[in-house]
Structure 1
Amino acid sequence: MKPLNIAVIGCTHAGTAAIVNIAKLYPEAVITVFERNDNISFLSCGIALHVGGVVQRAEELFYSSPTQLAELGVTTLMRHDVLSVDTDAKLLRARNLETGEEFQHHFDKLVVTTGSWPIIPKMDGIHLDNVMLCKNYNHAQAIIEKAKDARRIAVVGAGYIGIELVEAFEMLGKEVTLIDNMDRVLYKYLDKEFTDVTEQDLQAKGVELALGQTVQSFAGNEKGKVTTVMTNKGQYEADMVVLCIGFRPNTELLKGQVDMLPNGAIMVDEYMRTSKADVFAAGDSCAVHYNPTGEHAYIPLATNAVRMGTLVARNLLEPTVKYLGTQATSGIKIYDYNIASTGLTETAALAAGLNVKNVTIEDNYRPEFMPTYEKVTLKVVYKADTGVIVGAQIMSKADLTQSINTMSVCIQNKMTMDELAFVDFFFQPHYNKPWNLLNQAGLQGEVQQAEKLQTI
């Protein structure tokens, strides 16, 4: 029997997970990987740690290599750009970026893990020297090199990547300005009572916050280096600018051949299959099933990518293991605070038209008779009519972020506040109080539900 010929386009999180698992499950398969960059499997979430000196060697942020894949029998064509794909004929055309040679490659199964690329707005000065992107290994190295001579740095975009870079630059002694078109930081991930604390922390460290402002252009000097960022509300001096505006999926190769969201994110079913037979997709190039709303959404996270890539391998020949969807669970450490969230914030839930209520608890995370204890803030968002949990956020100087992983499971399984109130959690004074924080939230939700019934 002829061995299965599998082509994989792109090799970061989803691609690496798919390749490694396909090679293990189907050792007879012929696997060919096309990667336009000169490296694979870079953990871009570690860029700020590298910039700040926490991770000394960027090489430590790679978790695979062409050599390791070769040991599994995989052929990895580095610096090879796929120019076109014909999903009906099962042919792709690629170019060797080193030699310029072009060739065709036939496949039986195609795995598209082309990832995403930073959004680059069209505006005056965008191509000035020292206006940087933050996505891959080469970007990380360039940021570190340019930052050495920069005194004033502007970061555009107050999401996770932007906030982490701001912290890293500030700790390096730079004058930092954070610009975002929303009126507060981390808007997608946290409600105002949480972001207020983060903003106070940043300002206390000397970071200038330019929020609710849209960047319109950049100005430079006679040497072509950026000097000023112009927004709709003012201008800010900067020797270096890092754009962290967001990402869009790299999916031009399949445009018009498979179903996509309006932004180009590939639609896949619960087995990672696209709308075209024998074509699979995973990671940042895809839309995912977002459990809190029950709809497809574009949520580029490494965790989603690794899960989806692994599922491609499991379902390559026949549908075997279903994707459970995502809650977009994530965490971040900003100075002394450990922060995590899952599902919908109250702001996002209301914007989506959901009728929600919330419970917010502020308490010490363990008994006051212990030598030390820290304050914790927990917020749980739930549907007002059913009590079904749709989101949660936590913040504390103590690391309680694993509680949000628990809440992610609750959302995935459509648990109610009534059920959360009496889930079995352990008690030990080193770690918590007799009534676990999550139980407390459930109990308060019960009270709110009861009050609602009394008023009907």
Structure 2
Amino acid sequence: MKVVIVGGGAGGISTASNIRKIDKNIEITVLTRDNNVAYSPCAIPYVLAGKIKSFDDIIMKKPEDYKEKDIDVITEAEVTSVDSNKKAVTYVKEGKEIKLDYDKLVLATGGNPFIPPMNGSDLEGVFQIRNIKDGIKVQEWAKDSKNAIVIGAGLIGIEIAFGLKKLGLNVTITEMLPQIVPRSLDKDMADILTNYLELEGINVVLGQPITDLNGEEKVKSACFGDGTCIDADMVILATGVRPELELAKMAGCEIGRWAILVNERMETSVEDVYAVGDCVESQDLILGANTISHLGTTAVRQSKTLARTITGRKSKFNPVLNSMVSKVGKLEFGAVGLTTSFAQQNNIKPVVEKVEALTRARYYPNAKPMDIKVICDADGRIIGCQIIAEERVAERIDTMTLAITEGLTCFDLSNMEFAYAPPVSMVTDPLVIAVEEVSKKFN
């Protein structure tokens, strides 16, 4: 059997590795336009910030390393066409057009950076960060820059803004919505993070879209819709990505509202064509509707499911909750499930409580404040959680992910057993404090 995988990101390369773990005889070819595979794009902002020494450190494997697994990784290869009837793909490498037959085709094409409508986005000094090459360009350009603007205050935007600040630049981050991290945090929680960024010297501008980037050849300033402008030697467009669907459409795959439609076995509507990662739609566990999950953790889980599908084993990809965690400077923040506003948009009447606890026993040195927000539906079932603190956020988000997955109510969680020791927690865990408080709102 010949398996061809288009895309060398988390979804594509993990699919190849997981197939090989199960079956030693399948012929596997990975085609990627990048010159690197098996690296973490999520780590790029932390290289800029100096937390990770170099971009080389975030490359876990080189393409030639996969030869040991008998996986053929072809880099700098641009796939130009897919013929699902003849079961063949065509790619271009070093100016040569090459045709490759397949028995099974995996589309792991990821997403393309979204460029909002604005003048001057093609000026020198305007960047998008999707791979290591982009990160290196930004790092080099920053050496001769003074003022940087990051457009888009999602996770990547915030992390990059902090990284550029650590490089010594004057940094402004802008968001057209009235808060940062709008997909994962409610405004009251986002405001905590905004205040921290401002204390770190980052200027945060909310509720105003940038419409113009100005300069002759290089960018010199950015202007808002109201006509006000700020200086900029460099601009980062952190405005999100859109699924790359051109090859899927060539293959005849059914496309949903945003991306490729797949079933729980990662099969598309076309026989022997599969898809994983940023280019597919997933099912939301709480709402039951399709959603987008642009997370590396989702892509890796999907790849494990797909490897079992292709090798003829039972497989099922479970619905997603989009649990996330990040760290900017000293501050960790995480979320899982629905925000209050998103619940309301989907006709769910949320019951919400926000509490402040401590990360350790109050008498233990260096105990840090922990803000926790718990969101339940009208029956007390937990449907969302947001946490901000200087430590121990990730494990509590994971706990709440499990609670939501299992359909637990705030009453269930308040009676569960939690481990305790003064250096790592309060005797009553902060999660328990939060669900006890929200429980009081029910009769």
Q: TM-score range, shorter-chain basis?
A: over 0.9
CA distance in 2, matches of 1:270, 1:381: 28
CA distance in 2, matches of 1:370, 1:53: 31
CA contact (8 A) 1:16 1:64 kept: no
Give yes or no for the alignment of 1:60 onto 2:57. Answer: yes
CA distance in 2, matches of 1:41, 1:296: 28
CA distance in 2, matches of 1:13, 1:259: 23
Query: Which residue of 2 is the match for residue 148 of structure 1?
Result: 143
What SS does structure 2 have at the residue aligned with 1:75?
Answer: strand
Indicate which of 341, 346, 349 corresponds to 2:343: 349
CA distance in 1, matches of 2:409, 2:254: 34
Deviation at 1:122, TM superposition (A): 4.2
Indicate which of 2, 13, 31 corresponds to 2:28: 31
Indicate which of 393, 396, 401 corresponds to 1:408: 401
CA distance in 1, matches of 2:5, 2:308: 15
Indicate which of 403, 410, 413 corresponds to 1:417: 410
Query: Which residue of 2 is the match for residue 187 of structure 1?
Result: 182
CA contact (8 A) 1:271 1:319 kept: no
Indicate which of 263, 269, 273 corresponds to 1:269: 263
Query: Which residue of 2 is the match for residue 49 of structure 1?
Result: 46
Partner amino acid, structure 1, of 2:4:
A
Deviation at 1:427, TM superposition (A): 2.1
TM-score normalised by L of structure 1: 0.93
Deviation at 1:319, TM superposition (A): 5.2
Query: Which residue of 1 is the match for residue 88 of structure 2?
Result: 91
How many residues are aligned here?
441
Deviation readout 1:68-125 (Å, 9 max, x if unpaired) = 21111111222211111122321212212x1x22132211111111111211234321
What SS does structure 2 have at the residue aligned with 1:40?
Answer: coil
CA contact (8 A) 2:306 2:315 kept: no
Query: Which residue of 1 is the match for residue 430 of structure 2?
Result: 437
What SS does structure 2 have at the residue aligned with 1:200?
Answer: helix
CA distance in 1, matches of 2:334, 2:294: 17
What SS does structure 2 have at the residue aligned with 1:226?
Answer: coil
Query: Which residue of 1 is the match for residue 223 of structure 2?
Result: 230
Query: Which residue of 2 is the match for residue 333 of structure 1?
Result: 327
Query: Which residue of 2 is the match for residue 374 of structure 1?
Result: 368
Partner amino acid, structure 1, of 2:406:
N
Give yes or no for the alignment of 1:394 onto 2:387. Answer: yes
Instruction: Please list every run of at least 4 consecutive aligned residues from structure 1 whose deviation after the TM superposition is greater than 6 angstroms.
Output: none
CA contact (8 A) 1:14 1:310 kept: no
Partner amino acid, structure 1, of 2:41:
S
CA distance in 1, matches of 2:35, 2:260: 25
CA contact (8 A) 2:348 2:377 kept: yes
Deviation at 1:236, TM superposition (A): 1.4
Query: Which residue of 1 is the match for residue 167 of structure 2?
Result: 172
CA distance in 1, matches of 2:50, 2:361: 36
Query: Which residue of 1 is the match for residue 127 of structure 2?
Result: 132
Deviation at 1:278, TM superposition (A): 1.3
CA contact (8 A) 1:95 1:102 kept: yes
Query: CA separation of 1:377/1:266 partners in 2, compared to 1, >3 Å: closer, same or farther?
Result: same
Partner amino acid, structure 2, of 1:72:
K
Deviation at 1:268, TM superposition (A): 1.3
Query: Which residue of 2 is the match for residue 453 of structure 1?
Result: none
Percent identity over the alignment is 28
Partner amino acid, structure 2, of 1:351:
Q
Query: CA separation of 1:395/1:108 partners in 2, compared to 1, >3 Å: closer, same or farther?
Result: same
Query: Which residue of 2 is the match for residue 454 of structure 1?
Result: none
Indicate which of 160, 173, 176 corresponds to 2:155: 160
CA contact (8 A) 1:154 1:176 kept: yes
The runs of 5 or more residues in structure 1 that have no matched partner are: 451-456
What SS does structure 2 have at the residue aligned with 1:82?
Answer: strand
CA contact (8 A) 2:360 2:424 kept: yes
Query: Which residue of 2 is the match for residue 242 of structure 1?
Result: 236
Deviation readout 1:164-187 (Å, 9 max, x if unpaired) = 111111122211111110111111
Alignment RMSD: 1.5
Query: CA separation of 1:172/1:77 partners in 2, compared to 1, >3 Å: closer, same or farther?
Result: closer
Partner amino acid, structure 1, of 2:441:
Q
CA distance in 2, matches of 1:364, 1:111: 46
The runs of 5 or more residues in structure 2 that have no matched partner are: none
Query: CA separation of 1:26/1:226 partners in 2, compared to 1, >3 Å: closer, same or farther?
Result: same
What SS does structure 2 have at the residue aligned with 1:358?
Answer: strand
TM-score normalised by L of structure 2: 0.96
